[in-house]
Each structure stands twice: as C-alpha cells, then as structure tokens.
Amino acid sequence: MDIVVDAGNRWWWGSLLALLAGRALDLLSTWISTPRLENEGNPLSRRLGWRGGIAFSILISFGAAFVPLIAIILATTSFLIAAENFRSAWLMRTMGEHNYRDWYLRRVSETPRALYFGCLLGKTLPFILLGLVLTVGSGLRPIPFGMGVGMIGYGLAVLLYSWLARRG
C-alpha cells in the first residue's frame, strides 16, 4: 500500500467507504444519544453542530482517503466511539438529554473518585494496551498499525472525555 494514493484507486475507495461508514455510525449514535448535543463530550462537535459535523465528517473522509494509514486510524476510532455511544444511547434517549446528564452527574458525584477512575481505567486500558500490541507487533504494516493507533486514540479519547464529564 502506498503512503498516498490517487483518487479512484482501490485503497482510496476502501478508505473512503470505511471512513464514511465509521463517521456515519458515530454521527448516528450521537444523534440517538443526544439529538440536541447537550451530552456531546467533544467540544468541537458541540460547536460545529449537526450541519457542521456532517460537513466536517464528509470533508475529512474524502481528504483522509488519500492517505490510507490515516483513514484506518480514523475509521477504527470512529467505529469504536460509535459502539461506545450505542452502549448507553437507549438510556439517554428514553430519559432525555437533560435528565440523563443530571442523573449521570449525581451517580458520578456519589461514587468515590478512586472507584470511578479505577473502573474508567479498566474500561480504557484494554483498548490502549491491545492497540499498543497491534502497533508494536505490526511490523509497520499499515492495517494492523493503523488499527492499533486507532484503538489507542479511542482509549485516550474515552479517558479524556470521561474525565471532563466527571468534572461536570
């Protein structure tokens, strides 16, 4: 696989499809979870809103498709974030964004910090460590390397945004 590919190349099409699917699932899972973006953890996504987020996702997908390694990293992270969003999307949707946020913050504030962060590490470290194993063991082959970096990115993003959410 070349580092940069031409538009229409099979790697470009594969990268574009993976990116568009990953971004679409991330956006769908976010919309189901928090249609008014009240509980969106990413401040950039909140600022862009739905139209800006969709446009940004399309632009980044078409641009990153030219560099398959970047596409693999972004698609992996997007798919994992979508799965994380879907985990509690039903609860957020049925409770309502504001009620869910209040409920969640009350639960978190009643939880000892050490227990909260210990569980958060237990949730994210497996992804980070598996990502490191894939990255180190990849022999720099783009697909396992990119998936490993994407897993590390996902783990770090969940850690960061969960920590920020804990702060309220």
Q: Tell me, yes or no, whether 3 lies in a domain.
A: no
DSSP per-residue codes, 74-139: HHHHHHHHHHHHHHHHHHHHHH-HHHHHHHHHHHHHHS-HHHHHHHHHHHHHHHHHHHHHHHHHTT
**Whether 1 contacts 56, CB under 8 Å:** no
Average pLDDT value for residue range 105-113: 92
CA-based end-to-end distance of the chain: 44
Q: Specify the pLDDT at position 91.
A: 96
Token reading at 143: 């697909």
Count how many residues are written for the chain. 168
- pLDDT score for 165: 76
In total, how many domains does the chain have? 1
Arithmetic mean of pLDDT, 35-52: 93
Q: Could you read off the pLDDT of 128-154 as tens digits, one per residue? A: 999 999 999 999 899 999 999 999 999
Residue 1, pLDDT above cutoff 90? no
- Examine residue 130 and state whether it is found in any structural domain, yes or no: yes
- The residue range of the domain holding 99 is 10-166
Structure confidence by residue, pLDDT tens digits, 70-108: 999 999 999 999 999 999 999 999 999 999 999 998 999
Could you tell me if residue 142 is inside a domain?
yes
Whether residue 4 lies inside any domain: the answer is no
1, part of any domain? no
